[in-house]
């Protein structure tokens, strides 16, 4: 059993997944994170998911790929995915890659939970 890389919390009918790692760079970790994120949709049938980046200081491009896959999975399940608490230096990467246009990104968890 792989170590948990996500801290999962249920707030009403919304699943909040908070990244535990400060740096999401390691390929093995990214694989585990991806599997845990996908499991929320594929195995648990969660349709409302907030990914909380409060702890994250670094994110590799491989991790971005997992986020894109997660977005597709949630949309395929007719669900909603929101990202929140992304540091400015990481948000810059979302802007450069234009992923800020794909993802629904909120400033903090409270905003991410509003109007779900």
Identify whether 36 is part of a domain. yes
Q: Which domain holds residue 84?
A: 6-111
For the chain, percent of residues with pLDDT exceeding 90 = 94
Query: What does pTM read for this prediction?
Result: 0.95
Buried b (16+ CB within 10 A) or exposed e, 71-105: bebbeebebebbbbbbeeebeebbeeeebbeebeb
Query: Which CATH number is 92's domain given?
Result: 3.30.750.24
14-50: pLDDT as tens digits: 999 999 999 999 999 999 999 999 999 999 999 999 9
Total domains in the fold of the chain: 1
Identify whether 1 is part of a domain. no
Identify whether 116 is part of a domain. no
62-84: pLDDT as tens digits: 999 999 999 999 999 999 999 99
């Amino acid at each position: 059993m792989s170590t948990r890389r996500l801290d999962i919390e249920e707030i009403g009918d919304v699943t909040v997944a908070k990244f535990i790692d400060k740096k999401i760079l390691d390929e093995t970790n990214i694989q585990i994170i991806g599997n845990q994120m996908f499991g929320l949709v594929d195995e648990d049938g969660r349709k409302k998911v907030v990914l909380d980046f409060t702890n994250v200081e670094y994110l590799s491009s491989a991790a971005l790929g997992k986020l894109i896959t997660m977005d597709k999975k949630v949309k395929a399940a007719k669900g909603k995915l929101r990202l929140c608490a992304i540091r400015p230096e990481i948000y810059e990467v979302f802007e450069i890659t234009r992923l800020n246009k794909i993802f629904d990104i909120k400033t903090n968890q409270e905003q991410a939970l509003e109007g779900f």
